[in-house]
Structure 1
């Protein structure tokens, strides 16, 4: 069974497919869809394949939610609001450690990072992030008086190594579990939207940022900027092929308004393999171009399998973007005006 949690602006869609194929992308694309947290302003979603019944959702005004208890069917899940003492109720980023599913990280607006070691029951603030020299320059253009943690990632080879994308202003890393921080290492992007790592490539970190794509091979200490063929450099969504750490997909646009605003949307999807130039993926079954906001992606751990959510629906690929299948999700007409906030795919 494959379960997809798609966080849209004002609801969480929970889609399940009972197909025997673990990736859920065979010819039978039918499934069940449920709507949760309708009316909340969603920001992010996270879940671990090691604890698939426990799903976290961050909202902008209502704090952090977690599934109440295990259900036999994911579409039957209910959510409860967690009591936290975060700096605000704006939870803008979530990450679950690949080393221990009970270790969860949350980022907020204004930029703070918190850690739970008991699956979200209690939280500890990781201090010092805003003491970095560059913090006075951090600013989010729509709300220039503040900024937030847009993405969190835990290194799959080192449980103490954390990567943080601050929107907008810095890539930040910690080598000691958040006891201390290093901001803006050499060549790092400033407007990081999505970070990724790969379980088969130690030291590899990827970022899709408003100021372009970048990749590191030394755990974020330094960065290179392979841009050849990437005609739209306001990057947002990012996925790496589980079977090939050198095969990457990004969604991108010419700027923020064409990435996020449905009325002006014009976004594209690019793929890069090894050292080859970026290839724009068009006419592959995944809508791109005029009227389409930037996609968000997730993978299942199966080689070549990737899922995408745009304002047009939910799509899956078994060949890492060569072809896409639209999944049978009830997509109300109003959803075409929304830019998706995040997606998590769990397959078993």
Structure 2
């Protein structure tokens, strides 16, 4: 059972420690600063925190295992945009939206997904970064556009535990992309998805899909789950094809978690689409499937069921390595823990700032 967890919030990074059946937050790291992403690298115990300091730009800090000190490291840097290029995007880093560790056979390798849509790779624990130019220069990138943000962004990075050179990334709005050669080449993998905000004749176009979040089952790596802007999709063939899944209350939302060993078990947090973005009937709920989406159980025990307007962002539903412990956090600072696969939820007493990212520290 996980003993620590991390919350990246609008006003600092909080480290939670288990105390009996509850969780206690320590004093925040980077108090007052927006922390857009956090990563615990289980390969060596290092923590990484990405900050979004507005006028002062994006920053990245690293804390080595056993240390209390944070060290500022490099951030991804975009190359100058060629003169005369027909590209409306500003080629400069707006935000580090997600961080992911490379495979166990790639010590020091990190991946960063950013706004405005660039994927970066580091081979030296964040001391330097290189833009993955093969994806950035893909012809389809000209079709990408912003969803919740004004510019496209990469928010999901799924490294295949069987092969560290096989990585799937998801873009809002730009579809899901797979490399099997470490980033040298990429394939757009969205067959079966539908973007119903587009004209009907363009709804199945791959590079305009808006996958809100994609997660991979570590124990069954060919299984991927996607919470899309227009529904829930599942792949059983490493994103070669996707099948749409029906669910109760609503199939709109942002967050998804998959059991680390059981690809048939996944959790979603339904919300009201599209402009409202609040829980259905102002009552927070979690939908869990244990049979690959054939059926769902709606879980409410311990969650607020009246006057609740908490939205759970895409990185705010975390599952621990034990497959039973779940952590959920919201835009209004609510945080809930479940130790029994979501059957019962327990609210943390503390009220936090808006939460961007939640994760367990699995040793």
Tell me by how many angstroms 1:249 deviates: 0.3
Following the alignment from structure 2 to structure 1, what is the Cα–Cα distance between the partners of residues 324 and 144?
Answer: 36
Task: Say if 1:343 and 1:288 are closer, same or farther in 2 by CA, change over 3 A.
Answer: farther
Cα distance in 2 for residues equivalent to 1:37 and 1:44: 13
Partner of 2:46: 53
Q: TM-score, normalised by structure 1?
A: 0.83
Answer whether contact 2:116 2:153 (CA < 8 A) is retained.
yes
Aligned-residue offset at 1:242: 2.7
Of 51, 58, 61, which residue of structure 2 is paired with 1:63?
58
User: How many angstroms does 1:163 deviate by?
Assistant: 1.1
- RMSD value, Cα: 2.7
Paired position in structure 2 for 1:342: 357
Q: 1:165 aligns with which of 149, 158, 170?
A: 170
In the TM superposition, what is the alpha-carbon distance from 1:57 to its structure 2 partner? 2.4
Could you say if the C-alpha distance between residues 154 and 208 of structure 1 is closer, same or farther in structure 2, counting changes exceeding 3 Å? Answer: same
Does the CA contact (< 8 Å) of 2:147 and 2:210 recur in 1?
Answer: no
Distance of 1:30 and 1:4 partners within structure 2: 9
1:278 aligns with 2:296: yes
Q: Secondary structure at the match of 1:136?
A: helix
2:322 pairs with 1:302: yes
Q: 1:184-333 alignment to 2 at 5 Å?
A: 184-188=189-193, 190-227=209-246, 229-259=247-277, 268-275=285-292, 276-282=294-300, 284-287=301-304, 290-294=308-312, 296-310=316-330, 311-328=332-349, 330-331=350-351
Q: Secondary structure at the match of 1:202?
A: coil
CA positional deviation for 1:321: 0.6
Which secondary structure state, in structure 2, belongs to the residue aligned with residue 115 of structure 1?
strand
Distance 1:128 1:151, change over 3 A: same
> For the structure 1 residues 60 and 11, does the alpha-carbon distance in structure 2 shift closer, same or farther, using more than 3 Å as the test?
same
Task: Give 3-state SS (helix, strand or coil) of 2:243's partner.
Answer: coil
Structure 1 residues 137-156: aligned runs within 5 Å: 137-141=143-147, 143-144=149-150, 146-156=151-161
CA-to-aligned-CA distance 1:220-267 (integer Å, 9 cap, x gap): 11111111x33312221111123422110011212254337x9x9775
Shift of 1:116: 0.9
**Equivalence for 1:22:** none
> Structure 1 residues 78, 316: CA separation in 2 closer, same or farther (over 3 Å shift)?
same
- Counterpart position of 2:109: 103
Could you tell me how far 1:84 is from its partner in structure 2? Answer: 4.0
State the shift of 1:30 in Å. 4.7
Alignment of 1:103-142 (within 5 A): 103-141=109-147
- Note the C-alpha offset of 1:132: 3.3
Q: State the partner residue of 1:40.
A: 33
Cα-to-partner distance string for 1:152-172 (whole Å, 9 max, x where unaligned):
121112211111111113111
Deviation at 1:9, TM superposition (A): 2.5
- Cα 1:237–1:155 shift into 2, 3 Å: same
Q: Is the 8 A contact 1:7 1:45 kept in 2?
A: yes
Q: What displacement does 1:121 show?
A: 1.2
Which runs of no fewer than 5 residues in structure 1 stay unpaired?
20-25
Does the aligned pair in 2 maintain the 1:58–1:94 contact within 8 Å?
Answer: no
**Aligned partners of 1:44 and 1:256: how far apart in 2?**
25
**Aligned residues of 1:64 and 1:89 also touching (Cα < 8 A):** no
Judged with a 3 Å threshold, the aligned counterparts in structure 2 of structure 1 residues 51 and 268 are, in CA distance, closer, same or farther, namely same
After TM superposition, the score normalised by the length of structure 2 is 0.80
How many angstroms apart in 2 are the aligned matches of 1:51 and 1:255?
40
Partners of 2:69 and 2:217 lie apart in 1 by 30
